[in-house]
Chain A
Amino acid sequence: MTTTLSINGQQRSIEAPPDTPLLWVLRDELGMTGTKFGCGMALCGACTVHMNGSPIRSCVTPISVVGNQPIATIENMENDEVGRAVQRAWVDLSVPQCGYCQAGQIMSAVGLLRTNRTPSDDDISGAMGGNICRCGTYHRIHAAVKQAAAQLSGGKTS
């Protein structure tokens, strides 16, 4: 069955059963491998993308649910003001170790900062709590979200 998805501003037609999770369409059908597989059960956040600008776990989101709602992935974050600020903070603080989970981490952070430019420590922990990093970069992730927030809010912090 043919489904047309809106991904990073482009219409993409794919042949797949409607219950296919968006993750596998991105990775295996479209070759967009920036979005990672981690658990398949919305437990780790590695597969986080945005639907209508909000973070979702693509590993449990069937394409039938996505429909024509706009999807944004890590590959599009350079075209996003918040995305750029977060990516820059990630680089500035050398956040990644192995780096595998970081696309999902960045997508969650962008989702937070899009709605809250002055997040508290608890806001950050709450928004990032669903993203596992086995290398243990949480300390730097936390600092990087704060740095990006400060940049986006013109230096204001909570």
Chain B
Amino acid sequence: MDPGEQAADLRLENHEIAAHRWSKEWLFQDGDDLFEHDFGVHEGYGPGAFRVHRQGVGGPDALSCAECHHRGGPNGSGDLSENAFFEGDGSDPASAFERNPPHILGLGIEERLAAEMSAALANARAGAITAARSSHSPVQIALRAKGVSFGSLTVRPDGSQDDAQLEGVDSDLVVKPFGWKGSAATLREFLTDGFQVHFGIQFSRPEAVGDGRPWDRDGDGSPNEITDGMMSAIVLYVARLEIPVISPPKDSDLLARFGHGLEVFQDTGCATCHVTSLPLRNPTLKITTGLTSNVLTEGEAPRPRFDVSNSDGTPIFLFSDLKRHAMGAALADARPTYITTIAYGLPNGPKERTKIPADVFLTRPLWDLADTAPYLHDGRAPTIDAAIELHGGEADASRAHFDALSSEDKAALRIFLLSLSRYPRIEFR
């Protein structure tokens, strides 16, 4: 009973993956084990435990991923009691950003969708720069990706840009689908941060938090707490999880109401931001050298049958535009969030500190909404109706439409939203 025995089994390196030493199935299993694993101090957990995070360091505040992602089944959302308190003072919940754990299904698809949108925006800018150079005058372009407008951008002949008219995306034009405020573009980045702030488990890399020796930044005496290879396994695992489905009622009366609910969803204006579907053209997610995953066709059952024959892309029923919106003062955090971005999104550009205003949030994808109460970023809304009522800012008009709906229409809308769910799964435990 060596307590390190299981941890040792879970360790693997990226160069082993590149040499195809592990099958995808094995890596998925490794990620699954890590997801459920209660991390111990001997594995680099800690130091300490802080329910309210400390600025720049994090908690730790949980023992395993599964602890806060369990609602509605494995990898689901978290309850109110599992809300995380990010970037606080270590004790007072009011000092921190309170966040309800979202479910983690379909994230590989979200990363690919966002990457395609970022590429479209970067292309548009590159084209504008060329035009500005040849015309020796500033060029203004409208920015659109997958039918979603991100405002407009003016580029000057010297390559600099005026981003005052940008909407819902940072000046790097990188669409970031992860985090309630849309703070990370890739699963690897997001999960790496998660291991740091929730477990105090970190890479032996310079960007790890702390001023300890390079192999033990947090100075807890546990070197090389997690390897790139383990993180690759976790990214692959998350990317291959089941995908939420639309599962309407069977009863004919309820089914009619479901259909009407979808119309109400669109007519009321919900679908302006919670865009019903986005087309995915290239489902291949690159995870590390020698490891990719087709986020549509590979992975665990159950998953919807995707129509991959359409050359315009496979529609993904995400119910989000992957864009940030101002949601009004009532939903705002106490202060803005700052994230690190790369200037102009250039591969070797300088790092910048980018502000996300206090009232600005990413349009929450609604797939599997049925299993994710309590709702909104801090779980303040116990019911679907309460969640809609709390929408403000850019959603003011839609909320007003909702308020004016008949009780029949509201019921239909609820029935439609409750169909956004996941298949039941049998487990033995």
Real binding pair: no
